[in-house]
Every structure is written in structure tokens, then in C-alpha cells.
Amino acid sequence: GNSVTQMEGPVTLSEEAFLTINCTYTATGYPSLFWYVQYPGEGLQLLLKATKADDKGSNKGFEATYRKETTSFHLEKGSVQVSDSAVYFCALSDGTGFQKLVFGTGTRLLVSP
């Protein structure tokens, strides 16, 4: 079945450092890929998405490119801020009309001043 694998955290960075959170997936067909972010005490929020190969999703300085050849969707940001501290989830949809999502285990990011 479909699955998503994320790097284990926590990832600890200093402010303004470069961020990469790895995500790879296994899927049949052509899934859409997502990154969600969960701030403390809040629900998951969609950060960015890509619906087909070579698409790049971007939002709030974060980027991820849908790489079909490596089945990856790594999240990157050039300069992190303390306010980016959160848990980041990579996910894919199985392509059905109901948009059922399969999530990775989440990666906690801690950014210190």
C-alpha cells in the first residue's frame, strides 16, 4: 500500500540556518504530495502541495519539489526563524475523490535564537 517515510527528529537549528526535512514515498499511480505543519496546541495546517511530477510547491519561504524519479518530496527553507518551530508532516493522497491522506510520522523542528 501507499506509505510515507520521513526523517526522524527532532531537528535542531539556529535561527537563519538552512533547513531540509527529507520525505520519500511509496505509491501506486500518481499521488498528490503535501506538507502539513502543526504548531503547538493547534491543528494541522496545509503548508504546501504538489500534484504532479516536477511541480514545486512553495509557501512562507518553504519549498518542496515532487521528484518522481527518486519518489521524494523534501522540504527546504533557506533561513529558518524561531517561529518555524513546529512539527512537519509529509503526506500523500491516494488520488481518490475523497482525498484520503497517508501521513509520515512527523518531524519536530526546534529553532533557537
Partner 1 sequence: GAVVSQHPSWVICKSGTSVKIECRSLDFQATTMFWYRQFPKQSLMLMATSNEGSKATYEQGVEKDKFLINHASLTLSTLTVTSAHPEDSSFYICSARQALGSQETQYFGPGTRLLVL
- The answer to whether residue 105 forms part of the interface with partner 1 (CB under 8 A) is yes
- Among 28, 29, 43, 69, the residue binding partner 1 under the rule CB under 8 A is 43
Contact 75, 105 (CB under 8 A): no
- Report which residue type is found at 54: D
Say how many residues touch partner 1, by CB under 8 A.
18
Where b means 16+ CB within 10 Å and e means fewer, 2-17 reads bebebbeeebebeeee
Does residue number 103 form part of the binding site for partner 1 (CB under 8 A)? Answer: yes
Name the minimum Å distance from CB 104 to partner 1.
6
Residues that bind partner 1 (CB under 8 A): 4, 36, 41-46, 89, 98-106
